[in-house]
Amino acid sequence: MAEPKNDDFLDDIEAAEAEELAAQTEEIDDAALEVETLRAERDEYKDRFMRALADAENARKRGDKARREAEQYGGSKLARDMLPVFDNMKRAVEFATEEQKVVSAALIEGVELTMRALLDVFNKHGMQVIAPQVGDRFDPQVHEAMFEAPVPGTKAGDIIQVSAEGFMLHDRLLRPAQVGVSSMPAS
């Protein structure tokens, strides 16, 4: 049998080392790939978690806002339905003649006290009266023009008559004040 040459032996060792190095490199590449895959998966889960957290916070804020609005404006339908009651009580007091006030003083006083109590309830729940006066400027944000008429001594846009008071519920218009407006042309 022939003796292996020293070079062949070295070649075999180098080849074995090369194979072992390739195997280790392959293992490192597999481990690095697995680490990168896990990092990407972690980042995706973190992103999902952050989005879910933001969605939960937004839902909480929307819920708080809806709750506050329900507390403030939930009774607006009932409040609007109570306004004719106020109007009728006010008319009853305003149109009572002096003779009726003398004869029915206790009744008139009772209606006035009831009106005052109703206004206190309105105020307690955030309702404010819009009470324009004759001579005030017409404001379309809080007034509703029921008619226009040329009245001497007034300027166009002046309130000449108040038909019904308006009401605000917190910062929302519940009912505009109903007014007559001067249409007197500029002279």
Residue-wise pLDDT for 79-123, tens only, equals 999 999 999 999 988 888 899 888 999 999 999 999 999 999 999
Is residue 161 helix, strand or coil?
strand
Q: In what order do the strands lie in the sheet with 172-175?
A: 127-130, 166-169, 172-175
Mind giving me the DSSP string for 120-143? HHHHHTTEEEE---TTSBP-TTTE
Both tokens of 22, joined, read: 């390739």
Q: If you average pLDDT over each of 88-92, 104-108, 152-156, 176-180, which comes out highest?
A: 176-180
